[in-house]
Amino acid sequence: MKPITISARILGELALPDFCPRCFWIKLRCENKVPFQIPMPGIFNSIDAYGKKLIHGFFDQNKALPPWYPDIGKVREYVSPHYLHWSKFTVDDPKTKITVRGTPDDVFRLSDGSHHIVDYKTAKATEKQDELFPMYEVQLNLYAYISPKVGFSPITGLSLIYMEPQTDLQSDGIDDLMSRQDFSLKFEATLVPVANRAGTLIPDLLQRARKICDSARPPSGRDGCKDCKLLEKLMAVAQGG
């Protein structure tokens, strides 16, 4: 078997309701470098990083999470982001020869010595986000799968926390959001608990990923897959059709 590396997000695609084996095979073979992709605007990374700095800064000063933060138990400390970088937060699966890696947003060590993993999403908890929940669930479970192998054990909680922008304005509150130099956008944290099924979910998905990757030819696509149709059109155009 040829060793391959899969990120938490790519593995999570296997759980989406519109998952397409053909598209997955192509992306793996191309190392997820396919044409016409537009990079995600950097502002989202900036918001995520700023939010974590605020949370960690508050904890450093008060030895507690901010009062608006959802209850995840009695937190003793947060794990330094240095140890959560994908280059360190990685493990090789010997059965499938797949290296899995990712970067959890936060891992908190609780008072009883256990750990709670959190993934933040800068988005409103809408129906569209619900469609993506299976992918987020896999991401968190992969972090739970990797954690004991890199020194964070046991894992007693997984949480998806939506940082929801508060865009509904009240006329009597506008002055609180503005100064002569700038304006503010507030966020509200909404917690969605995620079941820890890392022991069964992740090995099954790794086996599926390996089976698809090892296929000599691309497997059949999902019926009605829009990306497959676009690919066929692209190939026809590229060949002068």
Query: How confident is the model over 112-130, as pLDDT tens digits?
Result: 999 999 999 988 887 667 8
Query: How confident is the model over 144-177, as pLDDT tens digits?
Result: 999 999 999 999 999 999 999 998 888 777 888 9
Concatenating the DSSP letter of every residue in 148-176 gives GGGT---EEEEEEEEEEE-----GGGGGG
How far apart CA 172 and CA 27 sit, in angstroms, is 51
Vertex 178 angle, CA 175 and 181, to 5°: 145
Task: Output the furthest CA–CA distance in the chain (Å, rounded).
Answer: 65
DSSP assignment, residue 64? S
How far apart CA 241 and CA 234 sit, in angstroms, is 9
- In DSSP terms, 120 is beta-bridged to 161
The mean predicted confidence, pLDDT, of the chain is 93
How far apart CA 76 and CA 115 sit, in angstroms, is 10
Query: How confident is the model over 22-71, as pLDDT tens digits?
Result: 999 999 998 888 877 777 778 888 999 999 999 999 999 999 999 999 99
The pTM of the full predicted model, rounded to 2 decimals, is: 0.92
**Are 118 and 164 within 8 A, CB to CB?**
no
Domain count, the chain: 1
**Are 8 and 101 within 8 A, CB to CB?**
yes
**What is the predicted pLDDT for the residue at 241?**
63
CATH number at residue 59: 3.90.320
- Mean pLDDT score, 231-238: 91
Q: What is the CA radius of gyration of the chain?
A: 21
How far apart CA 24 and CA 213 sit, in angstroms, is 8
Range of the structural domain that residue 228 is part of = 4-238
Q: Parallel, antiparallel, or unpaired for β 4-7 and 98-101?
A: parallel
**What is the predicted pLDDT for the residue at 196?**
98
Amino acid residing at 146: I
- Mean pLDDT score, 187-197: 96
Concatenating the DSSP letter of every residue in 44-61 gives HHHHHHHHHHHHHHHHHH
How far apart CA 138 and CA 9 sit, in angstroms, is 8
**What is the predicted pLDDT for the residue at 217?**
94
H runs (alpha helix) in the chain: 8-12, 21-29, 42-62, 127-146, 198-214, 226-238
How far apart CA 105 and CA 94 sit, in angstroms, is 26
- Please state, for a pLDDT cut of 90, what percent of the chain lies above it: 78
